[in-house]
Structure 1
Amino acid sequence: MKPRDFFTRPFIHLIWMMLSLLAITDCQKPTGGQELYYHGTQEKIALRESSTHFVVKFDSTRLDELKKMLPQWGEVEYEYENAYILRTKEEGSVRELVGRAREMEGVLAANPIYLTPDDQMMGVTDVICLAFKEGASADSRKEILDKYNARDITSPRAKSFYLQISVPKNAQALQVANEIQESGLTTFAHPDFLAMTVKHYTPSDPYYARQFYLHNIGQLINDGHTGTTDADIDAEEAWEVTRGSNTIRIAVLDEGVVSNNNDLPLARLDILPGCNFASGSPNDPSPVGDGAHGTACSGIIAAEHDNGEGVSGVAPFCRIMPVRIPFGLVSSSVYANAINFAWSNNADVLSNSWGYNSTADIPVITAAINSAATSGRGGIGAVVVFSAGNTAHHAGSNNGFVSYPGNVAVATVLTVGASDRNDQQANYSPDGAALDVVAPSHLAYSSQIAGECFEVWSTDITGADGYNDSPGGFGGPCPALGEMLPNAGVNFQDYTGRMGGTSAACPEVAGLAALMLSVTPSLTPAQVFDCITQSCDKVGGYTYTGGKSVEMGFGRINARNALSAHLWARDTPDDIGVEPNRSSGAIYLTPDIWVRKTHDLGTVHENPEYRDPLLGQPNYVYVRVRNAGCMDGAATVKLYWAKASTGLSWPAPWDGSVTTPALMGGIIGTQPSGTVPGHSEVVLEFQWYPPDPADYSMFGTDQQHFCLLARFERTATPPYGMTSPETGNLGQNVLKNNNIIWKNITVVDEVVEMAAGGGILIANFTKTEERTRISFTVPEESKEWNILRQGQAIVKLSDELLAKWKRAGGKGEGIEVEGNTILIKREGAWIGGFSLKPGEIHGFDIQFKLDQQPSREQNPAFLFDITQYALTDNGELLRGGERYVIYGYAQPKSPQDKAEH
C-alpha cells in the first residue's frame, strides 16, 4: 500500500500503536505422530519436544573447530564436556537445526530437548545406559549391540553396575533405548540424559531447626510458639548461590566477640591491634562478664556450618572483625573512632546493633559513618548497617521512633527494623520514614505481651557466662534467671536461644550484604542498598506507598532475591519496578519499546510503515531490558504482534490462534538478551514487517491499528520467571509482573475546526462471555490541556454495538446520546453493561474537535484515554486501552511522518 502524507489534507493525523513482547515456550509434536516417552523404573515417562531448545554433541578431538558453529544456531545455555544445549534464535526452528547438525561431520549427536510432564529439560545425545537381566545370554547381548551398530563405551566406574553404549547420530537414541527395553532383555535402558540438578543444601548444625529467621516452615521455636511458613529471609535459597567468601570482612561494632567458640573459629576472626575501644587491653576484643551481645550478633552473621554443633550463620565463609565498644555513658568520639577504625582497616561491612534512645544527630558520629560509606574499601565505600532501635510498643499504642544513628542522614546506610515469626511488624520495632528494611526477630518482650520472649538462636560466650544460662534482668519474666536454652547438645552453653530485638535483625542484613559482596566485590554501597531494598518481600499487609511502608520500610529482606538478577522494564514512565505496579495511570504506555521505520538507531518512537516484505525494507522495533539486580542476568525476549483492541487478552490473539475475520496476531521474533550486567541495561533490535492494513478493511477506520506487547522469559518452563503466573487477563499480567510491558498510543494531529479521528476495536479474546464497560478519561498529566473543556470528543458506535448496548439498557454516565452518536460530556464518562461473547469484536469511531486554536507557541498536546474493563463478581478487571495525543497544530512534516500502520 502506498504511503500517505497525512499533512497534505486538513484532518487529524492518527497513529495507533500497541507494543508487546511475549516469552512463552510452545512445544512441537513429533513428526509422524509417534509417541515420545522413555521407560522409568516402574512406568513410562511421557515426553514432548521443545520448540526452542536442542542439544548437540561434538567429537571432542574437533571441539575448538566445531564450537564456532554454535552462535549460528542459537545461544548456548548449558555446557557439559563436549555437549551443548542451545536456545534457538527463532521458535519452531529446532527440527531444521537438528537436521542440519546431523549432516555435519564431527557431530556425534543432535536432538531436540525433551520436556517431562513437570517441564524438566532432558537432553539426549548418543549414549544409552542399560543393564541386561541376569538371564540374557552373551549372544543376545551382542545381537543388541550389532543391531544398532552400537559401541560399548562403559566407564570403569559403571562397569560392574550397568553398561553405556554409543549409537550413531542418526539412530535416534531415545527410540533405540525404548526398543532395547521393550525387548525384555534389560532391567532398564534409557538415554544417558543431560538434565539439570540443583543442590538442596541445608546445614546439619543441631540448632538450625530453631533458626526460623533463616528457614521458616512453621516449626516449633521456643515456648510452644511456631512460625509461619516462609516468614524468613530465604537463606537456604541464597546459599545455592553463595555462602560467602573468606575475603569479605564484617566489622561487628559491639561489646566484644569471643575467640574460643567453635562456631566462630579463630581462623575467621580478624583481631586487629587497637580493636578494643572499651576497658582492658586495646588489642583484645573479648567481652567481659555476661556481655554476649556482640558474640550473638556475630553468630547470626557468620556462624560455622556443618561442624556438628551450634547454629548456622548467614554468611559462614566470611570473616568477622570484632571491634569492641562500651555501652552506657560514653563519649561520642569513642563511637566515631571505632567506626573510623573499622572502615580504615578494610572492613567491607559494618554491623551496628546499637544506638541512642534519641533521634538527635551527633555530628562526629555522622561524619564517621559518612566516611565509612564513602571512603571505605579503597574509595568504593563500605556498607554500613544499623538497627532501628526497640522503642515501640504497638500493643500499647506506642509506635516508637527510629533512634540515632539508625536515622542518620547518610543515604546508603541500611536501617533495620524487626519483623516477627509470622511476617508481621515486631511489637517493639518502630515506625518511621528512616526505616529501610526489616528482618525476622522475636515477636515481643515478655514485659509487653504475656507469653512472649526472645527466640533468636545464635552463638554465646563459651561456658556459663553470657545468655546461657540467663543472667536475668531483661525487664520481664522471661528469660528467667538461670534459665538454660539450649540445655542439651554439644557445648550447649556456648549457644543461646534468647537473642532478639532489632539487634538480631541488623546482623541478618549485614550477613546478606556480605553474601552480595562475595559474589560481586565491586558493588558500591548504593548498589547494595538498592538491591536489598528492591528485592524485599512486601509482607504484613501494610500499605506500601512507592514501595515503602512506615512499619516495614521496603519490606522483609529476601536474600535469594537480592542475589538474583532482576530483569524488568517500565510499564509507565514513572514505574520504579515494584511488583505489583500500583500505578493508577495507564499501564500501556511503556517507554521501553519503540519503533523506527528505518535503521537510523533513533530512540524516539515513530509510526511503523507497511511495506511489501519482498522489498526487504523492514521496520525496526527496539526493546530495552533493564537489570535492577546486583547480579548479571539473561532472558529470552519474544516479540509478537496483534490487531489493536481495547479488549486484548492472553495468550490469544498474540499466539496466532485467532484467524477470524482475519489473522489477529502472530510472532515477530525471538532473541536472547545476552548477559545484562547488574544495574545496567541492553537494547535489542527486531525487524518487523507490519501486516497490510488492507487485509483489515472490514474494521473501517480501525484497519490501520496494530499492537505489540512485550515479555521477558527468564526460565524455559512455566511460569517462565514471572512473579505471578499469567492468566487470561493481560492487564493483570502486566501489573503483577514487571517483565511484561505494553505500549498503546494514538497520536492525533489536528487543524482546528476539522473534526477527525480514528477507529477503535473492543473485543473479547477470552474463553468465557463477559460484561464490559468502556471508560473515557483525561489523564492527570493532561489536566491543563483538557480536550473536554477546550473541545469535544465524539463517539460513533457501529450499528451492531449500538443495538447490543441498548438491549442491555443503554447504561452510561457523563454522556449525551443522539442516534448512534455519543458526546462525551465530562471526565470519567462511560458506557457499558453489555456482554461480549468469546471471539466477539466490535468497532466504534472517535472524533476530536477543538473549539478554538491555541497559539502556535503553546502547541499543546491534549491526552485522552479509552479503556475497556470486564465486569466480574469480584470487581472490574482491566482489559486494555488506547491513548490519543491531539495536537493543536499539525506537526512538522518530514519523511518519517509518512506512514501506513
Structure 2
Amino acid sequence: MKNIFSFILTYLVIFSLYGQHYYYYNGEKQPLELMESKKYVLVDKNIDQKGFSELLQIKSDQIDEFQSSYLTQYLQSRPNINREIHWAVISDPRKPNLLKQLTNYYVGPYFKAESGKEVGLTHLLYVKLNSQEDIEVLDSIARVHHVEILGNDRFMPLWYLLACSGKSDRNALEIANYFFETGLFKSVQPDFLEDNIFACVNDLQFNTQWSLLNTGQNGGTAGADINICPAWEITTGCEDIIVAILDQGLQPHEDLNNILPLSFNTEAGIPPYGNHGMRVGGIIGAETNNSYGIAGVSPDSPIMDIANSLMGVPGSRIARADGINWAWQNEASIINNSWGSSVQYEVIDDAIENAVINGRNGLGSIIVFATGNDFDNSIAYPSTNPNVIAVGATNRNDQRASFSNYGTGIDVVAPGVDIRTTTLDDGYATVSGTSFAAPHVSGIAAMILSVNPGLTQQEVRNIIESTADKVGGYTYTLSAGQNPNLTWNSEMGYGRVNALAAVQAALPTISGPDYLCSTNTFTLQNVPVGSTVSWSVSPTHLFSGSTSGNGANASLSPASWGTSGQATVTFSIEGDCGTVDSSTKFWVGRAISYIEGPYEMAVNTVENYFATGNPYMGITDYQWSLFPSGYHWIGNQGTNAITLSFSATGLYSLELDVVNPCGARGSEIGIYVYNPWEHFTLYPNPTSDILHISMDLETRGRDVDLDFEVSLFDGQGRELIPAKQAHQEASLDLSRIPKGFYYVHIRYRDALLRRQIRVER
C-alpha cells in the first residue's frame, strides 16, 4: 500500500501555489502586484473608528476609510444573514506589519492591477454555478474552508455571493482561485475595492466623451462605445501613419498639436473656411493625458490638412478630387471625408480609385466617408462608392441615430450623437452628425496600421468590418452586405466599430501547440515587412535551453518530464512605429490536479471530493482509487467530483490519476474514517434529572472540531428539547420529563448520532 500520509506533502504543495498573485477573468489569469502597506479590514460591528484606532494603537487619521455599507437588496439571502458590512482601509507605509495583531479579523491586501490602479481585496467573492444542482457542491466545499454562502442574486440566480471571515483558512483571492481551479464552477471571482471614477486618460473633459468610454453617463448604455481604452494599451497611433482630413481646414489648438506643416488648400481662399474641419480633427487627433481638453482616437498619428470650403462653389468637386489625389501622393495613409455630394462625379470616383490602388506605395490608402444626415434610407454619395468605408452614426445607446442615412452600401457605424470635440480659437463644442462618426473609424484605421503597417487597404477594411460589434438588437444577416462572409444590417452595416478588437486582429498571429509535451516551435505569422522580431517565454523555469531569442521562430523544450505549468510566449515586433507585442498562452507538460476534501469523515456517511484543474490543462480523464479496497464505494467515477462513503473505520489512501495530451499524473491524500460515537459519553444513564454529554479527553486534545448540537426526542419522533449549540460538553435538564425511554440526537460534523436513554422517577 502506498504511503497514505503523502497527502501532507500534497497539502503543502497546494498552498505553495498561492505565492503567485492573480485572479481569473473569462478563464484567464489576470496578474496582480502585491502592495505591502495597504490593507482592507472587516471590522467588528460593535467597534467604532476611535475604538479601532485604539486597538491598533494608531491615530484615527491614519485610517484611510472606516465605513459601513449594505449588501444589494436583490440578494436572495439565506436565513440570519446580516446585510450590513463594517469595514476599514488602513495605509501606513511606516508600519507595514501593523495589522498582524488582528488575529481574529479578516484582513485583505491591496494590489496593483495590470492597469496600474490600486484594488483592495474585500472578504467577498462571486461564484457562478453551472446549474442549481451544484449548490450542494458549493455548500460542501465552502464548509471545508469556513466560507459562508450569503445567498444568490435575484436577477441572475446562478450567481452566489460568499463571504470569508477571520475563521477562513485563506483570503478571498486564494479561495476564489481555488474554487475556480477545481473546475466545478462556471466562474469565480473575488470582490475588489477600487476607484470607480472611470477614465483611462487624464484629459479634463474625457468623462463627456461617451463615444470613447460609455459608463452610462447621461442616460447612455455602459459599453456602447468604440472600446478605445484597452486598445490604447497596445497603440496610440504612430508618426508614420498620416491621417488626411479633407474638410474646411485646421488651425493650431491647445489640444491639437499634431497638425503637419505640410498641407494643401484646394481653393483660392484662406482656410480655415469654417469650424467643421476642427471638429473632425479633434476626434481623430486631440492630445491625450495633457490634463485638459479631450482625447483623440489616435493621438500620435499626424493630421494632414486638406482644406476645402465644402460650399457649392464652381469647380468645388474637382477641387475635392484634387485634395484626395494630393493626400495619397503625399503619404497619407487614411483620408477622412465628412462630406457628401447630391450629384455623383466620376472625377471624384477616379480620385478615390487612384488612392486605394496607388496610395501607400501600392498597398492602398484607406478612404472613409460619412453616409449623410438626411434621415434617409439610402446613403449619400460618395459613401456609395464601393472602394470607401461608409460610416453611419449611433447614439449613446447603440441605436442608429435618427438622422443617419442607412441602406445599401453602409459598412459600419460609430458614435455620432453629442460628440465632444475641438473648435477654432482653442474652443470645444458638442456636435452630432455622421460627419463625427466617420473620424472615429479613421482613427481606428490609423491604429491598425500603427501595429501592422504592411496591411493593404482591403485588409484594413476587412478588419474594421469583421471586428465590429453586432449591437442594438438589430438582425444581422449573412451575405446581405458586400462581404459574403459577414452578417450585415441595413441600418448598422456590419456593426458598431470596436477599436480593441480591430487592433488585436491586426497583430501578427502565433502558431504553435496548445500543449507543449516535448520540443516544439512557435512561429509568428505575417511578420510586417522591414520589422525586427524578438521573442521570450515566461516563466523561464518551465523550460530547458533558450527562453528568449531573435526571429519569428521560438523553439521551446520543457525543463523535464515532471515540469508542468501555464506559460506565455511573446513576440516583440519592432518597426518604424515602435514595438508591439503579440502573445499566446499554452500549457507545459502533464496536468496538475490535487484532491480537495475532508481528511477525516464519519463511518457510513457520504462526503464529496474534488479534483482541481482547469480547461487550459487539457484534462481528458479522471481515475480514482482507494487503498485498502473492499470497504468503500465511489460515486461519479471518471469525473472531477466524486462522492465517497466507508463502511469500516481506519486509515485510507484516496488516489487520483489525471490525463492530458502529455500523459498522466497522480496525486493522493489520506483519509481517517472514525466512529463518531467514540467521541461522546452520555452519563448518567439511566438518569432522573441532569444528563451530561461530553467529548472524551482524547478528542479534546486533538485538533478537531469541538462544536456539536444536541436535542431530545421521544419514541414518536416528537422534539421535546429543541436543538442547542454546545462546545466540548453539554447538559440536558430532564427533571420534568416523564419516566420512559427517549432519544438524544447529537449532530456532529456531518453525522447525526442517535442514542437511547432512560429516565427514572
Higher relative contact order (CA 8 A, sep 6+): 1
TM-score (norm 2): 0.46
Taking structure 1 as the reference length, the TM-score comes to: 0.39
Structure having the higher strand fraction is: 2
